[in-house]
Amino acid sequence: MQRIACSQILIAMALLFSPAVANAGVFVDFTNFDSRMTELAVSAGVTGFNAGELSTLETGIVSVLENAYQDFIGLSFSTVDPGGTRPVVTFGTAASPGSLGVANHIDFLNRVSGDTARVFSANFDFVVDEFSGNNNRAEQISQLTAALGGTAVHELGHNLGLRHHDAYGDLTYTGSPINTGGVQNGNWMATGSTGLGEQGRQVPRTFSTNSLVKLAYAEGTLDNNPVAVQEAGDAGDSIGSAMAVSFETIPVANRFGEVVIGEISTSSDIDFYAVQLAANSLFTADINVDYAAGFPFDNVNTTLSLFDMAGNQLATDDVSVYSGNTFGSGGFGDGFDPALFNVNIATAGTYYVQVASEGSDIGDYQLLMHTNSSTHMVPEPSSIVLFGMFAGTVCCSVRRRRSASKELRI
């Protein structure tokens, strides 16, 4: 596979330039919400919701979205349709049996414009079915607001590139299955397979650090998003030929990181990336592929490993699997996406991230890396000025992605 060839220094310079992208005005669509809430009330055996109560629910749901994404100043939420191509969160779609919501894509980097996140409002009867008539009406509305709003946050998160395994993103790597104690269910990307129950849906949650870094790279979420870099030629099939990667500051996540778009071009292809890490720091690496049919080849099933300066393997993973309060084993997983969350780095120096094919798979991948204390970084995007001496010489690029529609249900 012929790739764009350019030197590592030019790749590093390309990292410096982070053009502003159009902010994302999200249309919060309550068309037919009243009909869905009538269905919910009938199913739950509670009194129907009047116009004032529906208005209270709608205002509260928008507030849940705004509070969840408050650090991402590129996102704004409005119940007035701005028109054109825009992200949509809708609450009036007819119920889909067994589902609370669905997203169009898992669109890492947010390359697809105009995704829709659907919340099946009528299916939330379980939230209020313990009530009867007008008893505890304020509590009914409060719990419904939290549950409906939380699912909206979750499904929009998928359309911005987040996965269910991101709910486990604040764990520390151990090399064996982790008993989480339920911490993952305080995350917006938690779901039934992570053990999220009714009570957990009715309280505010947060994004994991891994989610925050991913959201920072999603186009339009910030005034100046950090920019992914393309693998240069071949990243190198050994530690000695590893492609050097510098980290950008990611203030919204209090991290330093980078995304590399790469390719396993043959079954024997191995890509190594060299990163500088500080002593007593934490390092995360996370492969992101989705179910797209045309990006631009088939996405690859990979293994992900981290090596120290002497070539010793510190961590490895081939797929992110989980079940409830266990991460690292179980019957649920996110496609082909391995992840190494928060590997402890004891000694400062150069470390090596390896991406390899599992079996004979070939195709594209997107490698997210971040750390909490970097010794080698470039300034954050908003502080950069153009270095004219390099104008016209940078030859790396990021391939834009147009995903096939693949819905993901919560």
The tens digit of pLDDT for each residue in 391-409 reads: 333 333 333 333 333 445 5
Contacts of 389 (CB under 8 A, 6+ apart): none
The structure tokens listed for 77 are: 């939420």
Burial class from Cβ neighbours inside 10 Å (0-12, 13-18, 19+) for residue 84 reads exposed
Task: Look at residue 408 in the predicted model and tell me its pLDDT.
Answer: 53
Q: Write the secondary structure of 111-157 as one string of H (helix), E (strand) and C (coil).
A: CCCCCEEEECHHHHHHHCCCCCECCCHHHHHHHHHHHHHHHHHHHHH
- Provide mean pLDDT across the span 190-213: 97
Under CATH, what is the fold of the domain 8-20+225-403?
Answer: Jelly Rolls (2.60.120)
Task: Look at residue 378 in the predicted model and tell me its pLDDT.
Answer: 53
Where are the chain's structural domains?
A: 8-20+225-403, 24-214
In CATH, 24-214 is 3.40.390: yes
Q: Which tops the pLDDT comparison, 190 or 2?
A: 190
Task: Look at residue 293 in the predicted model and tell me its pLDDT.
Answer: 43
Averaged pLDDT of the chain: 85
* pTM score of the predicted model: 0.86
- Provide mean pLDDT across the span 59-84: 97
Inter-helix orientation angle 51-68/33-44, to 10°? 110
Residue 292 banded pLDDT, cuts 50, 70, 90: very low
Q: Rounded to whole angstroms, how far apart are CA atoms 353 and 245?
A: 10
Task: Look at residue 15 in the predicted model and tell me its pLDDT.
Answer: 38
- Provide mean pLDDT across the span 206-233: 95
Task: Look at residue 360 in the predicted model and tell me its pLDDT.
Answer: 79
Residue 373 has pLDDT above 50, yes or no: yes
Q: Which tops the pLDDT comparison, 17 or 309?
A: 309
Going by their DSSP bridges, the two strands 24-29 and 75-78 should be labelled as: parallel
Give the model confidence (pLDDT) of 263-273 as tens digits: 988 888 999 99
Give the model confidence (pLDDT) of 304-338 as tens digits: 999 999 999 999 999 899 999 999 999 998 877 89
Q: Rounded to whole angstroms, how far apart are CA atoms 200 and 188?
A: 10
Task: Look at residue 194 in the predicted model and tell me its pLDDT.
Answer: 98
> Helix, strand, coil proportions of the chain in percent (round to 5)?
25, 25, 45
Q: Which tops the pLDDT comparison, 385 or 212?
A: 212
Give the model confidence (pLDDT) of 119-170 as tens digits: 999 999 999 987 655 568 899 999 999 999 999 999 999 999 999 999 999 9
3-state secondary structure of 312: coil
